[in-house]
Amino acid sequence: MKEIGLTFNLKYLLLALLFLSFQSCGYNLRENPSFFIEKNIAVVANSSSLNQLFIEELKKTADNVLDYKVEEIDELDLIIKITNHQIQRFSSGQGAGARTVEVRIDYSLNFSIENLASSKKENYEIRDVKYIAFDDSQILAMEAEESDINKDFVRFAIKKIELLSASLIE
C-alpha cells in the first residue's frame, strides 16, 4: 500500500519539477502579438454602421486608432482609407414552392493602406462569402446569426489588413 502512495507522490513531484524547469528557462505558450500594437492608425471612412463596426473591432487590437477627420498626420504610422465596404445578401437556394432555404452573404472591402514612414501606398480588396440556412419561423435568430457573421467578416478583414500592413513595411 505504501509503494502505491509513494509512486503517486513521486508522479506529483516529477510534475512539479517539470513545471519549475519550464518556468525557470523562460518557456511560455506562443503568443500571437498584434502588428498594430504601439502604432498610431487613422481610419478614413464614411460613417456607415459597417465602418463603425470595423473601427470598434480595430480598437480591440490596436492601441491608438483615430477616426480620421482633421487630425495631425505627423504622428501617424498607418492610414487605412476605406473606399467601399459592404455586405450583400442573396437568396442562394430555393426549396419546394420557390421558398428560400439558404442565404448567401457576400462581404466586400476595398481599401488602401498608406505607410507614412516609408511613403508606400497600396490598394487592396478583401472578399468573403458565407452561407446560412434560412427558416421563416426563426427570423430573429437569423438576424442575430447575421450580426455575428458581420463581426466575423470584419475580424477576418482586420487580420488580413494586419498582415498586409506588416508586409508593406518590408
Q: Which CATH superfamily is domain 38-169 in?
A: Lipoprotein like domain (3.30.160.150)
Confidence of residue 139 (pLDDT cuts 50, 70, 90): low
Rounded to two decimals, the pTM is 0.71
Mind giving me the DSSP string for 16-61? HHHHHHHHHTT--PPP---TTTT-EEEEE----HHHHHHHHHHHHH
Q: Residue 170: its pLDDT value, please?
A: 60
More confident residue, 113 or 98: 113
Q: What is the pLDDT of residues 86-112, one digit of tens each?
A: 999 887 666 666 666 778 899 999 999
* Domain locations along the chain: 38-169
